[in-house]
């Protein structure tokens, strides 16, 4: 059954606001109003408990005992009701009458510390409670209640169902996640399609639409030339949320033999593939035709993946050596030390990862490329020279030890979708066991939590304890919903421990049920590995997969170098996006007239732009162009103009377009944005691309291939690497949607391949070899594929990067507002006390978002979740030392060791005042002798107290920021001599927070996702030993998932 807290995600501050007497149904100013007691009642009745509404006083009365039991603090558990009746708040001296539902409680602490969900002054949210030193506002509760199970009749009742969320902006509804199919070497994601297109310029074959011998080619190739990291370190990833419907996994490489005139060649290749189905639904149109959407079923295909046995292999060297610095202080330079004109960039920090590009002839220096870490004056991807070796080994440190060590390649990540048994270990605080869902299909509701009476007579959820091992079938993983969120779940069995700590159920002595359903994704479990059971055949699946999940790695593909033999070798994957959905015309035309999402400025052919002052005159854009609105800048004179830069006639042009009257096109208007279907008019066409049977617009583009290519008067695949560097041509070519038979259907003896006989008639051995490969690669007529309803194989093929580029968008200019920041720092919501500071934060980030690596909602949410925890709800950019005696002891080791001084300097009782002199004394004791500070008497604990967005603390850190600031911002500011600048001049307050974000490459971790483990990874970099991991996760959840504060930047 649904539990009350399962419904908490239906109630967010985006949809509800607090007002005493609010019942959760009345709407005021666009939000439903609700108070604390009504919130509790809505959650209980929504979960099927038949209890009448009672206010806090009523819940505290004898009449409530008909429906609730009073629970002692020692027996409190998740889902119980917490009450405060006429008690004083920990701070602000307020009298409280409040209630909520316990999310977490630790009865082992004297402070009775916990967290509860309820209607707070800021709206529905989670808050801490406990003793003064443990919780900021909510004190130890008056009592706890537990609703009686006898009042529960089922999944919610008619009188008080779980309410639908209040209307919210359509942009706030997440629908389907997308990612590009591969990432950079450091694990970070490409910022936009343009960056990937640039990387793909190194590919010499496998281009969209036109393949070898002039045959149609429905996808693109990603090889080790573009992505050497995808051979060993970085997997190919799923491009969107969906379901794996089929795959084929080679146990080892397949081989074909070629008998040449003098030698016999054995060539390895892979026909391993993964086929994913995606059900896309655009945001609903709530303006023109309410609740209508554009829908499209499409598929992504990944072919030539690495065989199973090769996952353990060390591949042949396809890239450069990578090292990790052990030492700090080695210098990075523009050339070898002592060379004419050599510039010293700065120091290399310990832990920095470097790819060696070349070694100097002096056998000492090497040119390296920064992968991850900190190098003064350099950012990831930039190169520099440094002292690398001496006498053939790592250059020594001062003590003679090595300055670096080689990076050992990690074990390859294996996909989760292979058919077989998977074992996983329970992580976190345990794993809830559930009954089977009904129906057992993707998108269904998860089954209710299993419950049993424990030895104390309490009806508790069945939860497996941490480190328990479970096993499940990878082919039966479904995407199931709890509340509004989806989770990967499967039917599991428990694997008893044979050694070590006993595992099994928490709080129950009964055996684990023989089978149960549970969540099988991080962070709830850690997969221990999957051993596939099916090889070298097409396997039917129906397994949920998410955007960014592992698909596999590049497989080796050996081909004939020429008609006489020889071997060409490439590690590659073929990526394809196609659809057989007849609704595609409605999808391309945006039949639902959806307007939200990314917007583009439409510049028709011969648009005239005004030159930006001081220049005069106009700039003419000859060809039709679309400019992503997020990449424009507003210019005022005093009218508002869009400042745009485009490539037109192979020339970069910039100018101003008047904002008033400018035409905007939504991302859902694919046809208006230039995406066009192309198909041959000859219904009897073979697999050869015949331009004469194509529409006129395609013939023009086709002929441009040679004009922009090698200009040898004929169109060949060799034209692509050159022609695709022309941005205008590439933009048109990549927006073609080819309606044509798939290349994975017909055997080599079919009419499709008849022209191959003519092309290779003088090379019979080559012809036989190619036909053998063709017959091995096809899969469309396999009974497994036919059972999926994909039709006869005539499909609409999209260029994968162009398709994803329009869905994902790019990291262009952003627009953070003060109001957004007031939602981050919720203590400022209805005040103007920090508006000047917040305006400076917004300005700094808006103007420098790409340089600061704060240019996506995900990055911004990670950044501000951490900042919110560091500097509090009121954005205090200078550290405050107003502590009571318990607070001093709980926060600083010095005062735990010197409790008499805590009593001397901390405020007593509830009188929250600490004199300026005592604050100085506290800071000097808390930080004296630490972080580069002198001893207590030096006064440097106070002088270098926490300041800025990240509360930069300690003399050593002030010095490090000073050095970094000079290099990165090209401005020398003495933060050591004048530390107050960090909180009196807000520009530097912002920069100090950005400095830590950039210096430690935190954006790389941020790009990896929005799961709790990703937030924890960021937290570990910022403050590894903090006790606030939970709080930071909650800030991120609120900012990114619940309120979606930065979704529309």
Q: Answer whether residue 716 shows pLDDT above 90.
A: no
pLDDT tens digits, one per residue of 761-789: 888 888 888 899 999 999 999 989 988 88
Question: With the CA atoms of 858, 34, 175 and 1001 taken in that order, what torsion angle do they form, in degrees rounded to the nearest 10?
Answer: 10
Range with the largest mean pLDDT of 549-558, 591-600, 1010-1019: 549-558
Mention every residue, 6+ apart, whose C-beta is less than 8 A from residue 205. Answer: 211, 212, 221, 717, 720
Is the same domain home to 25 and 92?
A: yes
User: pLDDT-based confidence at 176, cuts 50/70/90?
Assistant: confident
Return the number of other C-beta atoms located less than 10 Å from residue 447's C-beta: 20
Query: At 1012, phi and psi to the nearest 5?
Result: -55, -40
User: pLDDT-based confidence at 8, cuts 50/70/90?
Assistant: confident
Cα–Cα distance, 21 to 29 (Å, whole number): 16
Q: Answer whether residue 92 shows pLDDT above 80.
A: no
Is the same domain home to 376 and 328?
A: yes
pLDDT tens digits, one per residue of 563-572: 877 888 999 9
pLDDT tens digits, one per residue of 504-547: 898 888 899 999 999 998 778 888 878 898 999 999 999 989 89
Q: Which of 533, 554, 571 is the last residue of a domain?
A: 533
pLDDT in the model for residue 244: 95
pLDDT tens digits, one per residue of 817-827: 898 999 999 98
Is the same domain home to 869 and 998?
A: yes
Alpha-carbon distances, residue 748 vs 557, 711, 776, 812 (angstroms): 19, 33, 10, 47
Q: Answer whether residue 158 shows pLDDT above 60.
A: no
Mean pLDDT to the nearest integer, 716-743: 86
Domain annotation covers residue 736: yes
Contact of 797 with 740, CB cutoff 8 Å: yes
Using DSSP's 3-state secondary structure scheme, residue 219 falls into: coil
Q: Which of 663, 687, 713 is the last residue of a domain?
A: 663
- CATH number of the CATH domain containing 222: 2.70.70
User: pLDDT-based confidence at 290, cuts 50/70/90?
Assistant: low
pLDDT in the model for residue 740: 87
Is the same domain home to 237 and 113?
A: no
pLDDT in the model for residue 110: 52
Domain annotation covers residue 992: yes
Mean pLDDT to the nearest integer, 973-996: 92
Q: Answer whether residue 169 shows pLDDT above 70.
A: no
User: pLDDT-based confidence at 325, cuts 50/70/90?
Assistant: very high
- CATH number of the CATH domain containing 84: 3.90.1720.10
Mean pLDDT to the nearest integer, 192-196: 90
Is the same domain home to 443 and 544?
A: no
Contact of 148 with 102, CB cutoff 8 Å: no
How deeply is 1047 buried, as exposed, middle or buried, from its count of CB atoms within 10 A (0-12, 13-18, 19+)?
middle
Domain annotation covers residue 744: yes
User: pLDDT-based confidence at 189, cuts 50/70/90?
Assistant: confident
pLDDT tens digits, one per residue of 235-282: 999 999 999 999 999 999 999 988 777 777 889 999 999 999 999 988
Domain annotation covers residue 812: no
Looking at per-residue confidence, does 298 or 475 come out higher?
Answer: 298
What element of type H or E holds 609?
A: strand 607-610
User: pLDDT-based confidence at 911, cuts 50/70/90?
Assistant: confident
Instruction: For residue 379, give the nearest of 389, 388, 387, 370 by alpha carbon.
Output: 370
Query: At 963, phi and psi to the nearest 5?
Result: -65, -45
User: pLDDT-based confidence at 374, cuts 50/70/90?
Assistant: confident
Domain annotation covers residue 77: yes
Domain annotation covers residue 725: yes
Q: Give 404-460 as a 3 state SS string.
A: EEECCCCCCCCCCCCCEEEEEEECCCCEECECCCCCCCCCCECCCECEEECCCCCEE
Task: Please report how the helices 986-999 and 955-968 are oriented relative to each other, as an axis angle in degrees rounded to 10.
Answer: 90
Q: Mean pLDDT score of the chain, rounded to an integer?
A: 86
Domain annotation covers residue 286: yes
- Percentage of residues of the chain with pLDDT beyond 90: 46
pLDDT tens digits, one per residue of 200-216: 988 888 889 887 667 78
User: pLDDT-based confidence at 484, cuts 50/70/90?
Assistant: low
Lowest mean pLDDT among 123-132, 397-406, 926-935: 123-132
pLDDT tens digits, one per residue of 340-373: 999 999 899 888 999 999 999 999 999 999 988 7
Is the same domain home to 846 and 966?
A: yes
Q: What share of the chain is helix, strand, coil (3-state, %, to 5)?
A: 25, 30, 45
pLDDT in the model for residue 1019: 93
- CATH number of the CATH domain containing 957: 1.10.530
β-bridge mates for residue 480, sequence order: 487
pLDDT in the model for residue 159: 27
Q: Answer whether residue 10 shows pLDDT above 50.
A: yes
Q: Give 423-435 as a 3 state SS string.
A: EEEECCCCEECEC
pLDDT in the model for residue 111: 53
Q: Which of 406, 428, 455 is the last residue of a domain?
A: 406
pLDDT in the model for residue 163: 31
Is the same domain home to 985 and 845?
A: yes
Mean pLDDT to the nearest integer, 905-911: 85
User: pLDDT-based confidence at 577, cuts 50/70/90?
Assistant: very high
Q: Answer whether residue 125 shows pLDDT above 60.
A: yes
Token pair, residue 637, equals 């004179």
DSSP strands (E only) in 224-352 = 236-237, 242-248, 254-259, 264-269, 273-281, 295-303, 322-325, 330-333, 344-348
Contact of 892 with 905, CB cutoff 8 Å: no
Is the same domain home to 25 and 72?
A: yes
Mean pLDDT to the nearest integer, 555-566: 86
Is the same domain home to 278 and 387?
A: no
pLDDT in the model for residue 168: 31
Token pair, residue 245, equals 């419907």
Count of structural domains within the chain: 7
Please give the residue range of the domain that contains residue 773: 676-807
Q: Answer whether residue 157 shows pLDDT above 50.
A: no
Please state whether the predicted TM-score (pTM) of the whole model is above 0.75.
no
Is the same domain home to 397 and 509?
A: no
Is the same domain home to 613 and 654?
A: yes
pLDDT in the model for residue 214: 72
pLDDT in the model for residue 712: 79
User: pLDDT-based confidence at 424, cuts 50/70/90?
Assistant: very high
Using the CB atoms, write b or e for 275-299: b if 16+ within 10 Å. bbbbbbebbbbbeeeeeebbebbbb
DSSP code, position 615: S
- Percentage of residues of the chain with pLDDT beyond 70: 93
Mean pLDDT to the nearest integer, 925-951: 95
Mean pLDDT to the nearest integer, 937-955: 95
User: pLDDT-based confidence at 495, cuts 50/70/90?
Assistant: very high
Range with the largest mean pLDDT of 200-209, 492-501, 620-629: 620-629
DSSP code, position 683: T
Is the same domain home to 631 and 681?
A: no
How deeply is 63 buried, as exposed, middle or buried, from its count of CB atoms within 10 A (0-12, 13-18, 19+)?
exposed
pLDDT in the model for residue 697: 63
Mean pLDDT to the nearest integer, 178-206: 88
pLDDT in the model for residue 57: 87
Domain annotation covers residue 371: yes
User: pLDDT-based confidence at 977, cuts 50/70/90?
Assistant: very high
């Amino acid at each position: 059954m649904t539990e009350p807290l399962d419904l908490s995600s239906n109630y967010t501050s985006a949809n509800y606001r607090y007002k005493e007497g609010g019942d959760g149904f009345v709407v005021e100013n666009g939000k439903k109003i609700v108070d604390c007691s009504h919130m509790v009642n809505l959650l209980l009745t929504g979960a099927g408990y038949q209890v009448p509404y009672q206010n806090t006083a009523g819940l505290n009365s004898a009449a409530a005992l008909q429906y609730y039991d009073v629970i002692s603090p020692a027996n409190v558990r998740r889902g119980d009701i917490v009450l405060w009746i006429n008690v004083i708040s920990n701070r602000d001296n307020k009298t409280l009458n409040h209630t909520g539902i316990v999310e977490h409680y630790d009865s082992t602490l004297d402070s009775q510390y916990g967290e509860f969900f309820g209607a707070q002054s800021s709206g529905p949210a989670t808050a801490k409670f406990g003793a003064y030193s443990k919780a900021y506002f909510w004190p130890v509760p008056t009592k706890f209640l537990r609703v009686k199970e006898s009042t529960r009749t089922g999944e919610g009742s008619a009188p008080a169902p779980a309410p639908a969320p209040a209307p919210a902006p359509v942009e706030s509804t997440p629908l389907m996640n997308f990612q590009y199919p591969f990432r950079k070497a450091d694990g970070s994601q490409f910022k936009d399609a343009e960056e990937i297109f640039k990387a793909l310029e190194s590919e010499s074959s496998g281009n969209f639409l036109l393949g070898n011998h002039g045959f149609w080619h429905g996808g693109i190739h990603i090889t080790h030339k573009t992505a050497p990291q995808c051979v060993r370190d970085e997997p190919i990833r799923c491009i969107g949320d969906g379901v794996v419907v089929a795959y084929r996994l080679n146990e080892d490489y397949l081989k074909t033999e070629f008998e040449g005139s003098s030698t016999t060649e054995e060539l390895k290749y892979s026909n391993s593939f993964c086929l994913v189905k995606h059900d896309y639904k655009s945001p609903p149109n709530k303006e023109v035709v309410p609740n209508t959407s554009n829908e499209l079923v499409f598929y992504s295909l990944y072919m030539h993946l690495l065989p199973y046995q090769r996952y353990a292999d060390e591949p042949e060297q396809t890239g450069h050596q990578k090292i990790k610095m052990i030492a700090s202080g080695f210098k990075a330079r523009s050339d070898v030390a002592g060379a004419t004109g050599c510039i010293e960039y700065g120091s290399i920090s310990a832990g920095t990862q470097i790819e060696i590009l070349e070694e100097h002839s002096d056998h000492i220096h090497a040119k390296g490329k920064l992968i991850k870490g900190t190098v003064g004056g350099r950012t990831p991807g930039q190169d520099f020279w440094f002292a690398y070796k001496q006498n053939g080994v790592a250059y020594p440190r001062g003590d003679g030890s090595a300055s670096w060590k080689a990076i050992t390649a990690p074990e390859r990540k294996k996909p989760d979708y292979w058919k077989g048994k998977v074992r996983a270990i329970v992580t976190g605080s345990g794993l809830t066991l559930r009954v089977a869902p009904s129906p057992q299909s993707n998108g269904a509701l998860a089954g209710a939590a299993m419950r049993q009476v424990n030895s104390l007579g309490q009806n508790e959820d069945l939860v497996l304890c941490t480190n328990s091992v479970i096993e499940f079938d990878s082919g039966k993983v479904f995407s199931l919903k709890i509340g509004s969120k989806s989770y990967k779940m499967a039917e599991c069995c428990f694997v008893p421990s044979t050694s070590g700590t006993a595992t099994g159920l928490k709080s129950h002595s009964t055996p684990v049920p023989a089978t149960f359903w549970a969540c099988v994704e991080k962070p709830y479990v850690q997969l221990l590995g999957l051993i596939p059971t099916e090889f070298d055949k097409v396997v039917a699946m129906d397994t949920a997969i998410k955007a960014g999940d592992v698909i596999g790695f590049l497989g080796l593909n050996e081909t004939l170098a020429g008609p006489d033999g020889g071997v060409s070798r490439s590690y590659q994957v073929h990526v394809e996006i196609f659809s057989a959905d007849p609704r595609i015309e409605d999808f391309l035309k945006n039949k639902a007239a959806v307007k939200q999402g990314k917007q583009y400025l439409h510049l028709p052919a011969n648009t005239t732009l005004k030159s930006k002052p001081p220049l005069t005159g106009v700039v003419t854009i000859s060809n039709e162009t679309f400019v992503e609105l997020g990449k424009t800048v507003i210019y005022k004179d005093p009218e508002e103009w869009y400042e745009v830069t485009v490539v037109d006639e192979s020339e970069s042009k910039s100018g101003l377009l008047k904002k008033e009257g400018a035409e905007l096109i939504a991302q859902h208007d694919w046809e208006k944005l230039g995406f066009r279907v192309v198909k041959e008019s000859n219904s009897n066409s073979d697999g050869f691309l015949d331009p004469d049977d194509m529409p006129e617009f395609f013939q023009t583009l086709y002929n441009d291939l040679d004009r922009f290519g090698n200009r040898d008067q004929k169109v060949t695949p060799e034209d692509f690497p050159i022609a695709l560097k022309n941005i205008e041509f590439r933009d048109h070519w990549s927006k073609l949607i080819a309606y044509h038979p798939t290349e994975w259907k017909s055997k080599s003896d079919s009419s499709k391949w008849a022209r191959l006989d003519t092309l290779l008639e003088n090379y019979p051995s080559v012809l036989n070899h190619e036909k053998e490969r063709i017959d091995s690669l096809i899969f469309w007529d396999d009974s497994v594929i036919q059972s999926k309803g994909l039709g006869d194989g005539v499909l609409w093929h999209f260029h994968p990067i162009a398709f994803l580029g329009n869905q994902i968008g790019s990291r262009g200019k952003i627009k953070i507002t003060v109001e957004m920041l007031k939602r981050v720092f919720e203590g400022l919501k209805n005040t103007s006390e920090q508006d000047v500071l917040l305006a400076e934060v917004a300005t700094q980030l808006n103007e420098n978002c790409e340089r600061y690596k704060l240019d996506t909602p995900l990055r911004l949410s990670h950044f501000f979740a951490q900042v919110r925890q560091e500097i509090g709800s009121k954005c205090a950019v200078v550290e405050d030392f107003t502590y009571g005696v318990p607070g001093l002891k709980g926060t600083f080791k010095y005062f735990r060791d010197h409790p008499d001084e805590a009593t001397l300097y901390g405020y007593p009782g509830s009188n929250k005042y600490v004199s300026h002199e005592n604050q100085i004394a506290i800071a000097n004791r808390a930080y004296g002798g630490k972080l580069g500070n002198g001893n207590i008497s030096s006064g440097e604990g106070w002088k270098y107290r926490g300041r800025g967005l990240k509360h930069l603390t300690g003399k050593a850190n002030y010095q490090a920021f000073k050095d970094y600031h000079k290099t990165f911002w090209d401005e020398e500011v003495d933060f050591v001599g004048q530390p107050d600048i960090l909180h009196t001049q807000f520009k530097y307050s912002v920069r100090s927070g950005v400095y830590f974000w950039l210096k430690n490459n935190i954006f790389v971790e941020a790009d990896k996702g929005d799961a709790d483990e990703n937030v924890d990874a960021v937290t570990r970099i910022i403050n590894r030993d903090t006790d606030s991991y939970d709080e930071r996760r909650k800030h991120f959840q609120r900012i990114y998932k619940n309120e979606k504060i930065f979704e529309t930047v």
